[in-house]
Structure 1
Amino acid sequence: DRLAQSCYYSTCGVPVYTLGGHIAYSLIDDSRRDATDHTPDIDRWIALHDSLVAVQELPADAVPRRNLVLIICESLESWPVEARIDGKEITPYLNSLLRDSTTLYAPNILTQVASGRSIDCQLLINCGLLPMNGQVYSMKYPSVTYPSLNKAMRERYGTKSYIFTCDKPITWNQQAIGRAFGYDSLIDRRAWRMDEMIGNPAKLSDGSFLRQSVELLRQGHIWPEGESRMLTFVTYSGHNPFRLPDNMVDPQFDMREKDLPRRLADYIAMAHYTDSQLHILIDYLRSRRDFDNTLVVIVGDHEGLAGDRNDFVKASSLVSAGQYTPLLILNPPVGGGSRMESVAGQIDIYPTLSAMLGLSGYFWHGMGQSLLDPDRGAYAVSMMTGEEVGDSAALTSRMLDMIRSARRISDATIRSDYFKNQPLNGSD
């Protein structure tokens, strides 16, 4: 059946490429490692990070969550959240979640992906590593050893993990990277009925993707009640060119007649559409008896407006000049009902989730700083532009040096397969 065809397990073979990709892979085979010994530099950086950034422990009365559901929304920026057009909310469902007393919201998460875009987001959140310099890690280094939330949760709770996508397994080499991160199964486009398509190239709509995902979960074999799971859902509809089919446009929220640049109007309409579909999955999760033990995270994978941003900022006061994505954490063990306005980077999500999941005992604490850290500096660096955002004056010179050198060190850890000989428990 479709599900059986779409799943892979950690015992599967080599990285998956198209024919052209296979030829390219033979030219850049990651077995030919950078011969330079980066270990001393990496060791020094990690020691500096450990001396400056405290590992966050939950208060004694807080119960860490044993399940993680990560929803990565394609190209979703922060500014549409809570914004209105002619008095109508662009994201009414997300806004309702923000009003929930169990939601923590951080609107100013700086995009830190690089040329890998969506797959870089997975590296940032799941591994606490920054994108490489000038290369896409998933294409050249899909077989090195990566630390991850998956592996940490498996070590602590015996967690099984699944990644759901409507893409092909070869897209960004997702199948190989899923395996390298420690996912037990990839559920890809071969599992789904292609009954409602969006985009160019056309792929399954967020609505159909989430409906079919819930149908699958209701069967019980992926996530039996009482067992620990990590589930990652990668949406697609928000991908450029943000064009909804006419029959899917909300008649109460039709942007086509607005006095806005067409691409901006399409982006707003698509953000509204994705928002309208998220309840399908959240409603299901809330219906489960183990919801109180489940951390639900909704994020944008990266900014979406690219080179049109400056023009759109001039065209509409709604559009943010900054490249920020939203982070909503539902049902956190601490911080529910709070709003963290200070600037953070996508690299800070890994240590935040690690703390909330009770994973402080895992050997890798990431390259960022948890949002729960009262000493966290409101500062981040864009990997695309090099722009430094936030209050650098509040940071020591050692902290600034550490942050500014982090990408070079992350690049070196991947090139040299630094973690190969580290205690990656739970990775087998």
Structure 2
Amino acid sequence: MDAKEKAEIELFLRKYMPEYTDDRYAVKERKNLILIVVESLNSWLINFEIEGMEVTPHLNQLCREDSSIVALHVQPQVKNGRSSDAHFMYNTGLLPINNGAVAVRFGEAGYPSLAKALKGYEAFSMVCDNAKYWNQNIAFSSYGFTRLYDCHSVKGSSGNLNDHTLFKEAASRIEGTGSPFYAQLITLNMHYPYDKLEVPPTDISKSKLYTPNIRNFLETAHYCDNAIGEFIKVLKETGIYEKSLIAIISDHNEIDKNQIENREKSSPEDKEIAMIVLNGSRKLDYVHPVEQIDIYPTLLDLMGANDYLWKGLGHSIFRKDSITLFPSEEKRSYVSDLMITKGYFKLK
């Protein structure tokens, strides 16, 4: 990075990066953070029914909770890194690089991050696959996680974990973790392809509506929803639920709404993904557009971590409506790419 590039980045940050330091939107007391990143969860799945059967009954109910913060119009911004790009954005507040997967190409850089902003928190992540995929074992360490559990961490496992096993193991490990903690849990069952069913069938499979692939996708969504519901039940039984802020967020879109409605062309609205936060500071159904990069500053806001200098390149949903100056998408992507690829955050 030369002096001109460095000056260009710092001018951009002075002009556009949020500067708020107050915690007016934070939860009242210090809470654990449980971040559930759901594979391929399009927003249209929430409250979707097939022949009178709710596909995601647990998520539907969680959206109606008194202190839930719901944003169903989140526009995905992942690039070549797909799921790994989402993990990167949620943890660092940066956009992915334009060529390749940032976690693979630049996974060792010492990024500012959510885990580092949560001072005094023990941070761990649990994934269903091999930690070597997408360079997770290296990248998650750079995001501030001190422990990473994968499919090899579960006794008797011979392959990728299913979502029920993930949450069962996570609940057990959370019980043995002191407070406060930040736990990132990443599901897998909703991952494509959907040419064959890998989860137990329900009445969804008996329907004649849609294609077999779409019905299989709906079955995996129902299976994941059930796993999340069981996990929330366990958290309530152990007393951890009330002590935690729980954010359920999609990693990216997969089967878009136009496919369900049998439309050839898709619009940005067809690709929308979801953010559902439980035990938030207020009840909020946010109906305006949100970008995926806005999740990081929203979590900082909710966790009362605005004393952390790095606010990311998005805007908290609690403050977006008051922002009058936005950079172009091209400029923001360019600056983020420059910061990552030219080593603005020095390599370890």
What is the identity, as a one-letter code, of the residue corresponding to 2:197?
L
Give the Å deviation of 1:290.
5.0
The CA distance in 2 between the partners of 1:36 and 1:264, in whole Å, is 52
Find 1:279's aligned residue among 209, 229, 238.
229
| Alignment RMSD | 2.6
Call closer, same or farther: CA 1:139–1:261 in 2, change over 3 Å. Answer: same
Give the Å deviation of 1:99.
1.6
After superposition, where does 1:263-274 map in structure 2 within 5 Å?
Answer: 263-274=213-224
The CA distance in 2 between the partners of 1:61 and 1:304, in whole Å, is 32
Give the Å deviation of 1:148.
0.4
Corresponding residue SS for 1:348: helix
Residue 84 of structure 1: aligned partner: 49
Corresponding residue SS for 1:322: helix
Residue 198 of structure 2: aligned partner: 245
Residue 104 of structure 2: aligned partner: 139
Runs of at least 5 residues in structure 2 that lack an aligned partner in the other structure: none
Give the Å deviation of 1:368.
0.4
Residue 160 of structure 1: aligned partner: 122
Give the Å deviation of 1:88.
1.3
What is the identity, as a one-letter code, of the residue corresponding to 2:339?
T
Corresponding residue SS for 1:364: coil
Give the Å deviation of 1:54.
5.1
Residue 3 of structure 1: aligned partner: none
1:74 counterpart = 2:39? yes
Call closer, same or farther: CA 1:61–1:321 in 2, change over 3 Å. Answer: closer
Call closer, same or farther: CA 1:229–1:64 in 2, change over 3 Å. Answer: same
What is the identity, as a one-letter code, of the residue corresponding to 2:331?
S
What is the identity, as a one-letter code, of the residue corresponding to 1:347?
I
The CA distance in 1 between the partners of 2:31 and 2:269, in whole Å, is 37
Higher mean C-alpha displacement, 275-284 vs 338-347: 275-284
1:331 counterpart = 2:279? yes
Per the normalisation by structure 2, the TM-score is: 0.91
Residue 15 of structure 2: aligned partner: 48
What is the identity, as a one-letter code, of the residue corresponding to 1:215?
S
1:350 counterpart = 2:296? yes
The CA distance in 2 between the partners of 1:257 and 1:96, in whole Å, is 24
1:236 counterpart = 2:201? no
Corresponding residue SS for 1:93: helix
After superposition, where does 1:17-416 map in structure 2 within 5 Å?
Answer: 38-50=5-17, 53=18, 55=20, 57-59=22-24, 63=28, 65-154=30-119, 158-193=120-155, 203-218=160-175, 220=176, 223-224=177-178, 227-242=179-194, 243-245=196-198, 248-250=200-202, 253-305=203-255, 310-314=258-262, 322-332=270-280, 334-336=281-283, 338-373=284-319, 375-376=321-322, 398-401=325-328, 403-416=329-342
Higher mean C-alpha displacement, 264-273 vs 56-65: 56-65
What is the identity, as a one-letter code, of the residue corresponding to 1:45?
F
The CA distance in 1 between the partners of 2:107 and 2:26, in whole Å, is 40
Give the Å deviation of 1:230.
0.3
Query: How many residues matched?
Result: 345
Report if aligned partners of 1:138, 1:173 keep a CA contact under 8 Å in 2: yes
Per the normalisation by structure 1, the TM-score is: 0.75
Give the Å deviation of 1:213.
2.3
